[in-house]
Amino acid sequence: MTEEELKLSYFETEPVPSHILEKMEECRKKRMLVPDLNLIKRPSQIEGIREASRINTMVLDEVAKQIHVGMTTQEIDDIVREFTHSQNAICAPYQFEGYPKSVCTSINQEVCHGIPARHRKLHDGDIVNVDATTIYKGYYGDASRMFLIGNVSEARRRLVEETRKCLEIGLEAAKPWNTVGDIGAAIVKYAHSRGYSVVRELGGHGVGVDFHEDPFVSHDAKAHTGMVLVPGMVLTIEPMINAGKAGVCIDPYNGWTIYTQDGKDSAQWEHTILITETGNEILTY
């Protein structure tokens, strides 16, 4: 069975419940942006995504057990690759659009997509984001965590804690029949109130059947804008919060790593969530 035939079989055997279709039609009549039906995951798909997400959480738990001052980011990549393979799963980042490693490790002023390397060590006082995505039986789970390495300054500790709070506030806004814009509006309001800025060029995304799906989840958005959040949608919320200005730049040599333009620190936390009829379910963290 081809991938397209498999998708059609889900739609035929696991149709979207009629009361959700009716609510979507109400939203459409109000000129709200309603997702295509293929973005609403069916029960069997959700179970597959949930299992991939469970393994992804285990991967980050394994990193948490071993991360320490003096280790290289390549050692983190080795941990992620070996543990993922031990679960008969696949590291999604590896060779995705040419990305050379199995995980992203972004330190201090690196916003995201830091590439693990044998020469790059974790020093006392660093903050590092480890971003892992797992494929299991064709389904995806995606999450990242911040780690405090050794004796971290109060400013860096506060940035990490407040970024975690931004994620939590975004989760509170990710309710059925709210919009994607409501998530970003809640996050940017809180971040600005704490003296931080929010990266605009990158954001969360739909996930589950593919690595990156619609919708794009901006963390700096206006309330009541963007796609409606319908039960069954699976997406990531992953605010990138800068200690300085919001501007970012890309490494001209590797073409992947994103840095803060002003050289100040950045932090990020990411969860994959399922929109439910009563709120949301965190699938991986």
Q: How does pLDDT run across 206-252, given as a tens digit for each residue?
A: 999 999 999 999 999 999 999 999 999 999 999 999 999 999 999 99
pTM of the model: 0.94
Q: Which of 2-6, 81-85, 95-99, 152-156 has the lowest mean pLDDT?
A: 2-6
Residue 106 pLDDT exceeds 80: yes
Cα distances (angstroms) measured from residue 147 to each of 10, 68, 206, 282:
39, 9, 25, 20
Which two structure tokens, joined as six digits, stand for 109? 């002023």
pLDDT for residue 13: 84
What pLDDT does 5 receive? 54
* Average pLDDT of the chain, as a whole number: 96
The total of other beta-carbon atoms located within 10 Å of residue 88's CB is 9
Distance of alpha carbon 157 from alpha carbon 10, whole angstroms? 45
Do the bridges between strand 240-242 and strand 266-268 make them parallel or antiparallel, or are there none, so unpaired?
antiparallel
Run of H or E including 284: strand 280-284
Tokens describing residue 97: 């659009």
CA distance 122 to 77: 13
29-66 tens-digit pLDDT? 999 999 999 999 999 999 999 999 999 999 999 999 99
Residue 8: the pLDDT is 54
Q: Tell me the C-alpha distance between 70 and 94, whole Å.
A: 24
Element (H, E) at 56: helix 43-66
Q: Which long-range contacts (CB under 8 A, 24 or more apart) does 77-85 make?
A: 77/101, 77/102, 77/103, 77/105, 77/116, 80/130, 80/132, 83/58, 83/59, 84/55, 84/59, 84/132, 84/134
Residue 11 pLDDT level (bands cut at 50, 70, 90): low
Residue 6 confidence (pLDDT): 56
pLDDT in tens, 60-101: 999 999 999 999 999 999 999 999 999 999 999 999 999 999
Q: What is the pLDDT of residues 164-195, one digit of tens each?
A: 999 999 999 999 999 999 999 999 999 999 99
For residue 118, pLDDT beyond 60: yes
Residue 196 has pLDDT above 90, yes or no: yes
Q: Shortest CA distance to 225 belongs to which of 279, 182, 171?
A: 182
The pLDDT of residue 1: 53
Residue 2 reports pLDDT greater than 70: no
- Name the DSSP letter for residue 115: P
Instruction: Find tokens 């609403």 and name the residue.
Output: 40
Nearest to 224 by CA among 178, 175, 176: 178
Domain coordinates in residue numbering, the chain:
41-284
pLDDT value at residue 9: 57
pLDDT value at residue 204: 98
d(CA 211, CA 133): 8
pLDDT of residue 82: 98
- CATH assignment, 41-284: 3.90.230.10
Report which of residues 160 and 5 the model is more confident about: 160
3-state secondary structure of 26: helix
CB 238 within 8 A of CB 244: no
Q: What pLDDT is recorded for position 235?
A: 98
Whether the link from the prior residue into 215 is cis, omega within 30° of 0, is yes
Q: What is the mean pLDDT of residues 104-108?
A: 98
The one-character DSSP state at 121 is B
On the question of pLDDT at 4 being above 60, the answer is no
